[in-house]
Amino acid sequence: MRTLDDLDVKGRRVLVRADLNVPLDGETITDDGRIRASVPTIKALTGKGAKVVVCAHLGRPKGKVDPEFSLKPVAKRLGELLGQDVAFAADVVSDSARDTVASLQDSQVALLENLRYEQGEESKDDAVREAFAQRLAGLAELYVGDGFGAVHRRHASVYDVPKLLPHAAGGLVVAEVEVLKRLTEGTERPYVVVLGGAKVSDKLGVIANLLTKVDRLLIGGGMAYTFLKAQGHEVGRSLLQEDQLDQVRGFLAEAGRRGVELVLPVDVLAAVTFAADAEHDVVDATAIPADREGLDIGPRTRELFATKLADAETVFWNGPMGVFEFDAFSGGTRAVAEALISRTGSGGAFTVVGGGDSAAAVRRLELPEDGFSHISTGGGASLEYLEGKTLPGLAALEA
């Protein structure tokens, strides 16, 4: 892939596809991690005298203007992080966008309104998507792809626009790809992967592929209960995907055949209901009461997982161990994160937090972000790369 060093950007309009899909409470940004991650590339471009036009999506407005998903609060925060005003266009490719871009001086920055207000951004109809891409590309002379969290999408701003303009990968995308290559090529061992989150179905492909590569696979979070059920254990009212039981039994058998150590919880925090203040007890993972639901891994499992991480040279972690948003059920996620931090610091292991809820948990639990080798900005994109899939946005940048 070409990088920023391969583009002559001085005095030219550069369209930067960023990932600014941050959580909002009204107009308040509750986690600005993705905005902060976009700053280095934008600063690199303004430092070279480019007129920077940033485009991004927020939420799922489904091709319609919806004030709930406006990027206006993001423009304000981006300006604070850049230390300069960011002009905000009230539309994506219409009058406001054209006027805002036309008024940019060298080293100034503008942010377009939410790409997903336009039906052409996500359209499965190639002609509709390409027509929108033509209008978007018409705002700029060069293109920089820096929204790693969207590169697994065949969307106009990610896939079609790079075909229309001289293009390069931004620093964030370059860094993410380097990390993922390190997780898939010549990986230092022991290689341990920790998977959590709600659903097994979200990670079928990555589990299947990782079973051919890893030494140890630790399973926590909501998806662990489907594994426990597949082994014949009672899981009460815990999250369960009945339709995935046969698939999971296949994973368990494949791990055995390949000599991959697949580690499941040995105890859980079982609650009477799904609530922050729910009454709960520590119970064996193999005997969860019928009227309880598991909301976090228990203390013995936290120690077990820490032990299984203690000798790792490479670790990839994707998905929380429990409902980390509730303080009472955040201990398992914290324990895994702290085990990774300890391994990074004391043993020099290569530790990667795979974006999404895992990255959000690190910030919510106020853990040091520099305690890990890398925190990804793209959970879904990272997982699809590790599945071995071709990511449309990366393919477009490599062309």
- The answer to whether residue 322 is catalytic is no
Q: CA-CA distances (angstroms) from residue 312 to 316, 340, 345?
A: 10, 9, 12
Pick the catalytic residue from 12, 13, 34, 51. 34
Pick the catalytic residue from 33, 319, 322, 380. 380
Could you write out the DSSP letters of every residue in 72-116?
HHHHHHHHHHHTS-EEE-SSSSSHHHHHHHHTPPTT-EEEPSPGG
- The answer to whether residue 354 is catalytic is no
Same domain, 164 and 196: no
Reported as a pLDDT band with limits 50, 70 and 90, residue 20 is very high
Same domain, 369 and 228: yes
Same domain, 77 and 202: no
Same domain, 218 and 364: yes
Same domain, 122 and 194: no
pLDDT the model gives residue 11 = 98
Residue 291 lies in a domain: yes
Question: Which CATH number covers residue 22?
Answer: 3.40.50.1260
Pick the catalytic residue from 135, 199, 249, 300. 199
- The answer to whether residue 199 is catalytic is yes
Per-residue pLDDT, averaged over 130-137, amounts to 98
Per cent of the chain over pLDDT 90 is 91
The range of the structural domain enclosing residue 41 comes to: 13-173
Same domain, 21 and 154: yes
Reported as a pLDDT band with limits 50, 70 and 90, residue 202 is confident
Per-residue pLDDT, averaged over 286-290, amounts to 95
The token duo for 163 is 């075909």
List the binding residues for substrate: 19-21, 34, 57-60, 116, 153
H-helix or E-strand containing 142?
A: strand 142-145
Pick the catalytic residue from 356, 371, 379, 393. 356
Same domain, 149 and 262: no
- The answer to whether residue 205 is catalytic is no
The residues facing 281 across adjacent strands are 270
Tens-digit pLDDT profile for residues 306-343: 999 999 999 999 999 999 999 999 999 999 999 999 99
List the binding residues: 19-21, 34, 57-60, 116, 153, 203, 294, 325, 355-358
List the binding residues for ATP: 203, 294, 325, 355-358
Same domain, 272 and 209: yes
Tens-digit pLDDT profile for residues 353-377: 987 789 989 999 999 999 999 999 8
Same domain, 144 and 257: no
How would you label 95-106 residue by residue, b for 16+ Cβ within 10 Å and e otherwise?
ebbeebbeebee
Same domain, 168 and 198: no
Q: What is the mean pLDDT of the chain?
A: 96
- Domain end call among 173, 208, 225: 173
pTM above 0.75, yes or no: yes
Angle formed by the axes of helices 171-184 and 33-47, nearest 10°: 120
List the binding residues for (2R)-3-phosphoglycerate: 34, 116, 153
- Domain end call among 118, 149, 173: 173
Reported as a pLDDT band with limits 50, 70 and 90, residue 249 is very high
Number of domains in the chain: 2
Residue 66 lies in a domain: yes
